[in-house]
Amino acid sequence: MFDLHTHSIFSDGELIPSELVRRAVFNGYDAVAITDHVDFTNVEYVLTGLKNLGAETYSGIEVIIGVEITHVPADKIDKMVNRAKDLGAELIVVHGETLVEPVESGTNKAAVSNPLVDILAHPGIISTEEAELAKENDVYLEISSRHGHCLSNGHVARISCDVGAKLLLNSDLHSPADFLTEELAPRILAGAGLEHDEVKTVMSVNPKELLNKIK
């Protein structure tokens, strides 16, 4: 199991980072990324705190320190990406144009146009053009198990498959109840319209490829 989009108490999650990692181990995860919400006001604080976790000391699981760039104006996303990278973020997630939050229009396009972005989270009604840019720039598009964000999963899966963009399944975890399981994860992907072989690719092949890319 891989989950590359989770939140700790450094933003709006319920768990301190060490408990989040411990519960991920208990749930059989191979890798987990902690990607707390950031903008220009808190990115240094978040990454300094997460790096103090000592992720390399955990055995049996790969722990990735990242950020989710959230509600940053679209024309400032590139600057924010560079700032997070300079501060040591290993994984860059951008909070996409979900159906359930007032994300600025243009955020999806700004994210998928930047090759330094790794994941566009819950992109809502993403356009074909944006999905093609994601493919071109090797930005992974997210299928989300989170309430509300999951409403557009079917659309995201269809558009991504049509153009050949890569998909990931993430939980957008905020609390212990949000951990994905081996039983639930493939059902979410099947519910989004993916076939059996596509489910296996999204659950295993794609996250491994992304982890190899960011090492």
Distances (CA, A) of 143 to 40, 168, 172: 27, 6, 10
Q: Which residues of 64-92 are buried (b: 16+ CB within 10 A; e: fewer)?
A: bbbbbbbebebeebbebbebbeeeebbbb
For residues 116-125, average pLDDT: 98
The whole-number pLDDT of residue 44 equals: 98
Q: If we measure between CA atoms, which residue out of 81, 77, 84 comes closest to residue 103?
A: 77
Q: Tokens 């590359």 identify what position?
A: 4
Provide the 3-class DSSP secondary structure of residue 121. strand
Provide the 3-class DSSP secondary structure of residue 6. strand
Distance CA 98, CA 89 (A): 23
- Helices 153-163 and 128-137: angle between axes, nearest 10 degrees: 60
Q: What is the mean pLDDT of the chain?
A: 97
User: Where residue 141 falls among pLDDT bands split at 50, 70, 90?
Assistant: very high
The whole-number pLDDT of residue 55 equals: 81
For residues 6-23, average pLDDT: 97
Residue 9 has pLDDT above 90, yes or no: yes
Q: Where are the domains positioned within the chain?
A: 2-214
Distance CA 68, CA 71 (A): 10
Percent pLDDT > 70 in the chain is 100
* Structure confidence by residue, pLDDT tens digits, 197-210: 999 999 999 999 99
Which segments of the chain are extended strands (E)? 2-6, 31-38, 62-69, 91-95, 119-121, 140-144, 167-170
Provide the 3-class DSSP secondary structure of residue 8. coil
Paired strand residues for 140: 119
* Structure confidence by residue, pLDDT tens digits, 177-199: 999 999 999 999 999 999 999 99
> What fold does the segment set 2-214 form as a domain?
TIM Barrel (3.20.20)
Distance CA 195, CA 187 (A): 11
User: Where residue 56 falls among pLDDT bands split at 50, 70, 90?
Assistant: confident
For residues 41-51, average pLDDT: 97
User: Where residue 4 falls among pLDDT bands split at 50, 70, 90?
Assistant: very high
For residues 109-135, average pLDDT: 98
